[in-house]
Structure 1
Amino acid sequence: MQGKIILVGTGPGDKDYICPRALLALEQSDIIAGYKTYIELIKTLFPEKQFASSGMKKEVDRCVEVLELAEAGNVVSLISSGDAGIYGMAGIMLEIVAERQSEVPVDIIPGISAATSAASLLGAPLMNDFVTLSLSDLLTPWELIQKRIRAAGEGDFAVALYNPRSKTRIKQLDTAVDILLQYQKPETPVGIVKQAMREGQQVVLTTLGELKNADVDMLTTVIIGNSQTQVINGKMVTIRGYRL
C-alpha cells in the first residue's frame, strides 16, 4: 500500500472546532503524529489510534519520522494546533519531502487559527487589514521582527501577536508595545485571549498603554487594534467603514 501524509490543523483542540474534513482524516489515519502537547489535546477523541509524539524543537526529526512512516505504507496525519500553514508544520514537512525527493503524496487540511479563535471571542477586531506577527526569535532574527512591527504600525494594521512572552523571553513584548506606540494612541484597544476554546479560557480587554502589565504567556494570543478599533458594548470592533 502507498502511504500518505496529511497535514491537519486541529484549531484550538476542542472537537467542536475541528472541521469535519480534518476529523475524517484523523479517523482514517493509521498514525497521528505531532508535538506532545497538541497530541494530548486530541488523544481522547481517537483512543484506538497509534500516536507518535515528540517535544519542542524536534520539528525536523518529527517530519523525518512522519515521512519514513508514510514511505512504509502508513497514512500519517501530522497535526498542528490552529492552522498547519500558519506557524505550523506544513512548510517544513513540504521542504523535507522535496529534499528527500520522496513521492509520498501530501495533503493539507486547514484549521481555525489562533488569531481567528481569539478574534471571535473578542468581537470583530480583524474586520479590516491585519497582520500576524510571532515575537519568538527562535527561527527569525529579532531585528527582522522589529522591522516588521514597525511596518505594521506605519501601515495602521491591526496586529495579532503569537508567542508574545515566555519564561525566558520577557522584553520582546515591551519592545513591540514601544514601537507600536509611535504610531497608535495609548488608549488603542487590545484584546488578550489565553487558552482560546480550551479549559482555563480567559478573555481580557485592555489598552496598548497598559499591555506591558498584562498577564501574557505562550498560551496567549494578543490582538492590538488599529486607529479605527473601538470597544462597542464590551466587544472589540475594528470599523471597516460601512455607512450606518
Structure 2
Amino acid sequence: MAKLSLVGLGPGSLDLMSVKAQQVVKSADVVVGYGPYVKMVSTLIDQQALVRTGMTKEWQRADSAIQHVQEGKNVALVCSGDAGMYAMAPLIFELLSTQSIQIEVETIPGITAANACASLVGAPLGHDSCTISLSDLLTPWQVITKRIEAAAMADFAVTFYNPRSKKRQNHILEAQQILLKYRDPETPVAVVNAAYREEQSVQLSTLESFTNLDFGMNAAVIVGNNSSYRFDNWIVTPRGYKNKYTLDDGETREGQIPGRSLIKNHKVNEVE
C-alpha cells in the first residue's frame, strides 16, 4: 500500500538526520519539498521523481504529495527541522480531514531548529520553554503578542522563529519590549543562524541589546528566563536542582526528600 511519509530533516546536515529519515527518502518513489530542503538530501536522490516548489507554495506541495500517494506511489514530503513544527504535517492532516481522504501517513521526527540552535550555546532550554513564530503571514499579530505576553509572564525561556525579515523589522522589537517588562535587561540571549549548515553563525547578547545584531528569517532567537545565566560562551537555564540539593556535594537540603515534590520553605527560597 502506498504511503505518505512526512520526513523531518533536522537542521540540514546528514549526520544529524535520523537513519530512518534517510532510508525513507532513499526508498521513496517521489520526493516532494521546498527547493532548498530537497537540495539538503541531494546525495540521497537517485531514481526518485522530484517535486520542488518555492516559498509560499505549501498548499501545492501538500496537494501534489497526496495526489501521488493516491496514484499508488510512496512519497517522502521533506521538511527542515521536524515536520510537525511550523512545517508541512499540520497542513497535510488538515487537507486529509477537510477532504475526507484516506491514505496511509507516517511522520518521521527530526531535530527542531530550537533544539539544534540550543545545542550550540549550552543549555538555554534546560527548564520549561516554548517556541513562538513572529511571522504574521498566517497568524494575526495581535494573537502573537498575546502569546509573547503569556510566555513572559510565565517565565518561559522562549525561542523565536522567523524573527525578522526585510519587510518585517519591528516585530522582534515589540517582542523585546514585552519581555523587558518581566525580565532583567541582562537576561542572556542567543541568536543562531543556520545551525549546522555552512553559513552557521552564533551570536551571544542580552535582552536589552540583541536587536542590534544582524540576523534575519533563517535565525532563531533564544531568550533565557529569569534564572538563566552566562557561563563562558554558554547559556545555562537551571533545571532547579539547587532548590533540593547542594551542588557542592549533592546532599539533599534540609526538609527536602528525593523523589518527592519540592517543599517550599525559607531555606529553599534563599537559593532560588
User: Which TM-score bucket, shorter chain as reference?
Assistant: over 0.9
What is the alpha-carbon root mean square deviation over aligned residues?
Answer: 1.0
Q: Which has the larger radius of gyration?
A: 2
> Could you tell me how far apart the structure 1 residues matched to 2:26 and 2:36 are?
19
- In the other structure, the counterpart of 2:110 is 111
CA shift, 1:95, in A, is 1.3
> Could you tell me how far apart the structure 1 residues matched to 2:88 and 2:17 are?
17
CA shift, 1:118, in A, is 0.3
> Could you tell me how far apart the structure 2 residues matched to 1:72 and 1:39 are?
22
Q: Is the 8 A contact 2:125 2:237 kept in 1?
A: yes
User: Mean alpha-carbon deviation: is it higher for 89-98 or for 140-149?
Assistant: 89-98
Q: Is the 8 A contact 2:25 2:44 kept in 1?
A: no
- In the other structure, the counterpart of 1:230 is 229
> Could you tell me how far apart the structure 2 residues matched to 1:108 and 1:9 are?
8
Q: Which runs of 4+ in 1 moved over 3 A?
A: none
> Could you tell me how far apart the structure 2 residues matched to 1:181 and 1:99 are?
41
- In the other structure, the counterpart of 1:64 is 63
> Could you tell me how far apart the structure 1 residues matched to 2:23 and 2:43 are?
15
- TM-score by length of structure 1 reads 0.97
Q: Is residue 148 from structure 1 mapped to residue 136 from structure 2 by the alignment?
A: no
Q: Which has the higher contact order (CA 8 A, sep 6+)?
A: 1
- In the other structure, the counterpart of 2:203 is 204
CA shift, 1:139, in A, is 0.4
- TM-score by length of structure 2 reads 0.87
> Could you tell me how far apart the structure 2 residues matched to 1:200 and 1:212 are?
20
- In the other structure, the counterpart of 1:125 is 124
Query: What letter is aligned with 1:228?
Result: S
Structure 1 unaligned blocks of 5 or more: none
CA shift, 1:101, in A, is 2.0
> Could you tell me how far apart the structure 2 residues matched to 1:175 and 1:227 are?
19
CA shift, 1:179, in A, is 0.6
> Could you tell me how far apart the structure 1 residues matched to 2:175 and 2:215 are?
14
- In the other structure, the counterpart of 1:215 is 214
Q: Secondary structure at the match of 2:160?
A: strand
Query: What letter is aligned with 1:222?
Result: V
Query: What letter is aligned with 2:230?
Result: V
Q: Deviations over 1:52-77 (max 9, x none)?
A: 11111111111111111110010001
Q: Secondary structure at the match of 1:131?
A: strand
1:1-244 superposed matches below 5 A: 2-242=1-241, 243=245, 244=247
User: Mean alpha-carbon deviation: is it higher for 92-101 or for 14-23?
Assistant: 92-101
Query: What letter is aligned with 1:114?
Result: A
Q: Secondary structure at the match of 2:199?
A: coil
Q: Percent identity?
A: 44
Q: Deviations over 1:102-161 (max 9, x none)?
A: 221010110000000000001000000001000000000000000000001100110000
Q: Secondary structure at the match of 1:206?
A: strand
CA shift, 1:98, in A, is 2.1
Query: What letter is aligned with 2:32?
Result: A
Structure 2 unaligned blocks of 5 or more: 248-272
The aligned length equals 243
> Could you tell me how far apart the structure 2 residues matched to 1:187 and 1:102 are?
51
User: Mean alpha-carbon deviation: is it higher for 204-213 or for 95-104?
Assistant: 95-104
Q: Is the 8 A contact 2:22 2:44 kept in 1?
A: no
> Could you tell me how far apart the structure 2 residues matched to 1:128 and 1:104 are?
38
CA shift, 1:14, in A, is 0.8
> Could you tell me how far apart the structure 1 residues matched to 2:43 and 2:239 are?
41
Query: What letter is aligned with 1:95?
Result: E
User: Mean alpha-carbon deviation: is it higher for 7-16 or for 93-102?
Assistant: 93-102
Query: What letter is aligned with 1:187?
Result: E
Q: Deviations over 1:81-103 (max 9, x none)?
A: 00001101001101112222222
Q: Secondary structure at the match of 2:42?
A: helix
> Could you tell me how far apart the structure 2 residues matched to 1:43 and 1:169 are?
32
